[in-house]
Amino acid sequence: MKIGFIGLGIMGAPMAQHLLAAGHEMFVRTRSKVPAGLEKATVCATNTEVARQADVTFLMLPDTPDVETVLFGKDGVAAGLGKGKTVVDMSSISPIETKRFAGEVNKLGADYLDAPVSGGEVGAKAASLTIMVGGEEAVFERVKPLFALMGKNITLVGGNGDGQTTKVANQIIVALNIAAVGEALLFASKAGADPAKVRQALMGGFAASRILEVHGERMIKRTFNPGFRIALHQKDLGLALAGAKALDVALPQTASAAQLMQSCAAQGWDQLDHSALVKALETMAAHQVAPEPK
C-alpha cells in the first residue's frame, strides 16, 4: 500500500518506521532531516503531494491548529484528496474539531478516521500502542492491518470524534494517577521512608499500576527526559476542561492536575516528561522524593 506520514516526531518517527519496515511504500513531509530508519521513504515537497501519492495519509501532530493547517492550509492535504483516499489522524486533538475536519474531508470524497494513541515513546518504538479509533466500521477494517503494525490494543469506539473523546478520558486517568503516585511517594519520603522500597511494596498490592511502575521509578531516579511532555499533557487536559464546560460536567480533580502542570510550566519544566508533575508537589513541600543523582 502507498502510505503518507506527516509528523515525524518522538512518536511519529517510530510509528512510520514500523509501516515502512512492513514493505509499504511511504511518502513523507518533514521540515528537518528525515529520521533514521526512514531513509527509503520518498520526501515530498508539500503536504498536498503526500496525500496525492498515498492511499492512506497518517497525521501525528502536536495540537488541533497544527492538524487544521496541515489538512486545509496552503499546500494542505485536502488539495491532494479524492475518492478512494483515507486520512487517519493519530494526533490527540479536539473531538469537536475532529468532527468538523472529518466532514470537510468526506465532502472531498475521502474517508476519515481519528485514531489517537496511548503508550508514549516506549509504546511507539515497541509497536505496542493502544489505538482508539473513531469512524466508519468499513474504513476501520480497511486500515486495521496498518494499525496492527503500530499497536496491540486497537478498538473502534464509535463515529468520528469518539476516538478523540476516548483519548481525552485516557489523559484524565493518566494525569490523576501521576498526581496520586507523586503525592504518595512524596509523603513517604518526607516521613523518612525509602521511596524506592515503598514503591516496591505498593507494586504488590491494590495500588499497583503502570504509572506507579514506570513514572514512580522516574520520580525516584529523577529521569524526566520526555517520553510525553508536560506541555502536551497540559493541552490534553485543556481539551478535557473545555469539553466539560460545554457538557456542564464538573471535573475537579482534572482541574487540580491541570494546575499542577501549569505550576511546572511556570518554572520552565513543561518540556520535561509528565512524570515531572511531581516537581510541583515537591516545590510546595520543600522536599524532593529523592535527591538528584550525582
> Catalytic amino acids?
167
H helix intervals, 92-154: 95-107, 120-126, 137-147
The cell 515502512 sits on which residue? Answer: 20
The cell 518517527 sits on which residue? Answer: 13
Nearest 5°: phi and psi at 88? Answer: -125, 110
Spatial distance between the Cα atoms of 69 and 208, rounded to a whole number of angstroms:
41
Give the DSSP H or E segment for 154.
strand 151-158
**Count of CA atoms in the C-beta half-sphere (13 A) of 49:** 10
The cell 532531516 sits on which residue? Answer: 33
Say if residues 134 and 164 touch (Cβ distance below 8 Å). yes
Say if residues 147 and 19 touch (Cβ distance below 8 Å). no
CB-based contacts of 275, cutoff 8 Å, min separation 6 = 178, 182, 214, 215, 218, 219, 224
